[in-house]
Chains A and B, each alone.
Chain A
Amino acid sequence: MRTREIIAFFALIALILLAKYVLPHPMQFSPTLSLIIIILLSLTFIIIGVLTLQGKFVERRIVFIYVGAALTLPFFMQIELEVPISPEVQSAYDQIESLNPGSKILAAFDYDPPSAPELQPMADAFMKYCFHKGIKVIIMGLWPQGPQQAGQSVEAAFEDDPALRDKIRYGVDYVNLGFQSGNEFVILRMGESFKAMFPADIYGTPYDSIPILRNVKNYSNIDYCMNFSAGKPGTQEWVQGAVDRFGLKLSAGNTAVQAPMIYPYLQAGQLDGLMGGMAGAAEFEKLTGYKDKATTFIKSQSFAHIVVIVFIIIGNMAFLRGKTERKVK
C-alpha cells in the first residue's frame, strides 16, 4: 500500500462522515447559488482554452473531473429544462394510446442492471401507463435479469400509486413469465406457442391456469409488443424473428448506443416507434405524464454534453495550435 493510497483512503472516510452527519438531507442549492456555480465553472473553461492556446494541453484526467462535476452538481441544483418530443417517441406513445382497455401487451425485458439507468425509467413509465389505462401486460425476458427489472417496474408503479396495489391483480392484469435462454430461437418458437417456451410463470404456476393467458397461444392473440433492449438478443432479433415472420406490431426502447442500429428497421416500417436513451425516456415520461428519474437526469446530461462539446472545441484548438507549431518548426 503506497502512502498516497492510505492518505486517499482516510480523506474518503472524512468526506463520507461529513456527508452522512453534517450536510443537510436532502441538500439543495438555491437557484441563485446554482447560477453562481454554473458561471464559475464556465469561467474555468476559458482558462483552459487560454492554456491550450499557449501550448499547455490539458490531460484526460482533467476531462474526467469536469465530467464528474457536470454529472453530480445538477442533482443539487434547482433549475428546469423543457424537453422536446421526437417523432419516433411520439409514435411509440400513440401506438399504446390507441389500445383500448383490456387489450394485451407483450413486454419483453431484454436488459440487465448495468443498462438499467436508461431503460428502467422507460419501463417504469410504461408500466404505470399500462396499469392506469387498464392494459394487461405479459412480461417475459431473453436476458436472465430482464424479468427482475420488470418486477422493479411493477413495484415502482405500485409505489407511485398505492391504489393500484389492490386494483391490479397478478395473473389477471399482468403476469411475469420469467427468463428463457435460447435468444432468437425463443422468439421463433413463441410464434407457434408461448406455452412451449414458458410452461410456467416465474412463480411456477402452470401456463394454462393463469387467467390472463387463457386464450393467448402466440403472437396473433396479443394486441401489441414493447421491447426494452440493451443489445443481443434484443430489438433486432425481435424484428427478425417476430415482426418479419409473424407480423407482430412492435415498438422498442433501446439504450442510446443500440438506437442508431435500430433506425433502419424504423425506416423500413418494421418498427412502429423507438425510444432512444435517456432523452427518449424523458420524452416518454413527459408524454405519459409520469415524470420521474429521467426528467431529473436529463439536466445532468445536458451539462455533461456541454462539457463534451467544449472539450471537442478545446481539442481542435490544441490540434490547430500543434499544426501552426509544426509549420513554424
Chain B
Amino acid sequence: MKRKIPVLITFVVGSVLILSVFFPPIETWGEDFSIFFDIIAVFAFFLGGGNLLRIHTKKAIKRQKDWGFSIVTVLGFIIMLIAGLFKVWNDGGIAGDVAAPGSLFQMMYNWIFTPLGATMYALLAFFVASASYRAFRAKNVGATILLVASFIILLGRTPLGTYVTGWIPKSLSIFNIPDLAIWIMTAPNLAGQRAIMIGIALGVVSMSLRLILGVERTYLGVDNE
C-alpha cells in the first residue's frame, strides 16, 4: 500500500495536467500547480534549514576540522532570519515590505549578499580563459571545429575583428570577421540549437511518460519489482 498510492498520485496528477492543455475548463490547473509547489517548498525548507543548523552545530560542538567556520555559517543564518522575519529597522514595521531600503535585511543583502554573489559569478572571467587555454586544442575534427568557431566569434564580437579584416571589399563581406561571426551565430549555430532543442523536447516527453506510467520509480525510493 505504501508504494502503490504515490505511483497512483503521480499517474493521476500527471495525466490530468497533460490533458488540461486540451480542455479549456481545466486549462489553468497547470498555473495553480506552481502556487501549490511554492507552498510545499516552504515546508520542505524547514527540513533543509534544520539540516543546515544540525550539521554545522554538530561540527562546531565536536570541534571537527574547520569548526570555526560552521559557527560563522550558523550565525549568518540566524541573523538573516531574525532580520527578515521580524523586519528589524524596517520603517514599515512588521507590515512593511521585507526588502524596504534601510531595513537590516536589505542592508545585509546589499553589503554581504550582492558583492559575494557578483564576485563568485565574476570568477568565470578567469575560468573561461583557463578553460579555453586547456580545452581548445585541435585533438580531433570536432575539437578543431569547436576551436575555430569560438575563435571567429571571439574576434568578431569586439572592435578587434574589424581591424583584422576591415579591408575586405563589401562584395565579399561574408569573410569580414564581424559579419562571419554574425553569420555563424545565425546559421550553423541555429541548426545545432534547433537539433538540441528538439532533442530535449523529445527527451522530456519520454521521461515524463516514464515517470507518469510508473516505469521510472526510483525517485520514490520504490524498488522496481
Contact = CB atoms under 8 A, between A and B. Distances in A.
Do A and B have CB atoms closer than 8 angstroms in the complex?
yes
Interface of A: 60, 63-64, 66-68, 71, 81-84, 86-88, 112-117, 144, 148, 181-183, 185, 188-189, 256, 260-261, 263-264, 266-267, 276-277, 279, 298, 301-302, 304-309, 311-312, 314-316, 318-319
A87 B182 contact: yes
Contacts, number: 121
Nearest to B113: A113
Nearest to B31: A185
B162 A308 contact: no
Contacts of A267: 186, 190
A316 B190 contact: no
B193 A84 contact: no
B155 A312 contact: no
Contact of A263 (B134, B158, B185): B185
B194 interface: yes
A305 B31 contact: no
Given A64-B129, A82-B162, 7 more contacts: A88-B182, A261-B193, A263-B189, A301-B158, A312-B147, A315-B137, A318-B137
Contact of B117 (A66, A86, A113, A182): A113
A260 B185 contact: yes
A63 B130 contact: yes
B185 A312 contact: no
A305 B182 contact: no
A308 B132 contact: yes
A315 B139 contact: no
A267 B190 CA distance: 8
B139 A319 contact: yes
A280 B119 CA distance: 22
24 contacts: A60-B134, A63-B129, A63-B133, A66-B129, A67-B125, A82-B162, A84-B159, A84-B178, A86-B182, A87-B182, A114-B120, A260-B189, A263-B185, A263-B189, A267-B190, A304-B125, A308-B129, A308-B132, A311-B129, A311-B133, A312-B133, A312-B151, A316-B137, A319-B137
Contacts of A83: 159
B55 interface: no
A318 B162 CA distance: 29
Residues of B contacting A: mostly: helix
A314 B126 contact: no
Contacts of B132: 308, 311-312, 315
Contacts of A304: 125, 129
B138 A319 contact: yes
Contacts of B46: none
A67 B31 contact: no
Contacts of B137: 315-316, 318-319
A264 B190 contact: yes
B151 A309 contact: yes
Closest 8 CB pairs of A and B: A319-B137, A60-B130, A114-B121, A311-B133, A185-B31, A81-B159, A302-B158, A114-B118
Residue of B35, B138, B155, B159 with most chain A CB atoms under a 10 A cut-off: B159
B157 interface: yes
Nearest to A322: B137
Nearest to A61: B130
B222 interface: no
Contacts of B151: 309, 312
B43 to A, nearest CB: 17
B66 interface: no
A196 B136 CA distance: 50
Contacts of B64: none
Contacts of B162: 82, 84
Interface string B149-186: 01100110111111000000000000000100010011
Contacts of B186: 263, 266-267
Contacts of A306: 160
Given A81-B159, A302-B160, A309-B155, A263 B190 contact: yes
